[in-house]
Amino acid sequence: MFHTTEPAFTFHPGQGPLLISMPHAGTHLPPALAARLTPEARQVPDTDWHMARLYDFAKAMGASVLVATHSRYVIDLNRPPDNQNLYPGQDTTGLCPVDTFDKTPIYAAGDLPDAAEINARREAIWQPYHQQLQTELQRLRSRFEKVVLWDAHSIRSVLPRFFDGKLTDINLGNADGTSCDAALAQSLLAIGQAADGFSAVLNGRFKGGHITRQYGQPAQGVHAVQLELTQCSYMQESLPFAYLPERVQQIQPHLQRMMAAVLDFALSA
């Protein structure tokens, strides 16, 4: 059975109408689970590396920040609890992944988690993260007429399993227009398209995962946006997955402009 001694998340409560969620930023593997994984998988290469550091400006802007602690190899917090495929007809990884993005096995001996283990992971990690997310959205919504949930992600820019060629740098998703106000989405896309040296798209390969689709309820005052950023925009995409400050200096101002636009939208009448 699954056991962990680490909390499911870290959380910083903010004072503004913005919650930033980082469901794939965790790297922790409980020792008993790590012992079952391949040497490659123990490096947790499919992490959304350095997310909290990349968005380190957000707390000063008043944002609440929710950051996963466990690796997505333990459980993927951006998948539905029933493991339904979010992109029918396309290859994706599941709620408890069994292979890496490069389609190599995660479990050295093939001892994949059974239903009981998956349920235990869901109860220990998935449910607390989502409960905190819901609780914070409710708190913010009680104070503000409009709030924004920003789901922050990153991914390698070249991943043949999921897309051809090189990925667009700034991949905004609002579930094909259903998870946030259209004007907000367009203003964010305009910021991305104006970002010198970077490419941007809205609802391209990445339209938003479970979190964006589940919690984005514009009619109820909750607007959700996912940003999937190419890792080459701010870090080294292979081991040791280094944070590259000189690249961060180029992309971070555009992220700050997006957060400012989100807050302007949420605080507008």
More confident residue, 43 or 91: 43
Does residue 70 surpass a pLDDT of 70?
Answer: yes
Q: How confident is the model at residue 199, as a pLDDT?
A: 98
Mean pLDDT computed over 165-170: 97
Instruction: Give Cα separations from 98 to 46, 73, 77, 144, 244 (angstroms).
Output: 12, 8, 15, 41, 30
Mean pLDDT computed over 127-135: 98
What is the residue-averaged pLDDT of the chain? Answer: 96
Q: pLDDT grade, residue 1 (50/70/90)?
A: confident
CB-based burial, 96-116: b 16+ in 10 Å, e otherwise: bbebbbeeeebbeeeeebeee
Mean pLDDT computed over 113-134: 97
Q: How confident is the model at residue 87, as a pLDDT?
A: 61
Q: How confident is the model at residue 85, as a pLDDT?
A: 67
Q: How confident is the model at residue 82, as a pLDDT?
A: 85
Rounded Cα distance, 237 and 95, in Å:
24
Query: How does pLDDT run across 176-220, given as a tens digit for each residue?
Result: 999 999 999 999 999 999 999 999 999 999 999 999 999 999 999
Instruction: Give Cα separations from 136 to 14, 61, 170 (angstroms).
Output: 10, 17, 26
Mean pLDDT computed over 62-68: 98
Q: pLDDT grade, residue 269 (50/70/90)?
A: low
Q: How confident is the model at residue 132, as a pLDDT?
A: 98
Q: How confident is the model at residue 93, as a pLDDT?
A: 79
Q: What is the 3-state secondary structure (H, E, C) of the chain?
A: CCCCCCCCEEEECCCCCEEEEECCCCCECCHHHHCCECHHHHCCCCCCCCHHHHCCCCHHHCCEEEEECECCCCCCCCCCCCCCCCCCCCCCCCCCCCECCCCCECECCCCCCCHHHHHHHHHHHHHHHHHHHHHHHHHHHHHCCCEEEEEEEEECCCCCCCCCCCCCCEEEECCCCCCCCHHHHHHHHHHHHCCCCCCEEECCCCCCCHHHHHHCEHHHCEEEEEEEEEHHHCECCCCCCCECHHHHHHHHHHHHHHHHHHHHHHHCC
Q: pLDDT grade, residue 86 (50/70/90)?
A: low
Q: How confident is the model at residue 88, as a pLDDT?
A: 64
Beta carbons within 10 angstroms of residue 129's beta carbon = 25
Q: pLDDT grade, residue 18 (50/70/90)?
A: very high
Q: How confident is the model at residue 89, as a pLDDT?
A: 66
Mean pLDDT computed over 27-54: 98
Rounded Cα distance, 22 and 78, in Å:
9
Domains with residue ranges and CATH for the chain? 9-267 (3.40.630.40)
Instruction: List phi, psi (to 5°) of 210.
Output: -60, -40
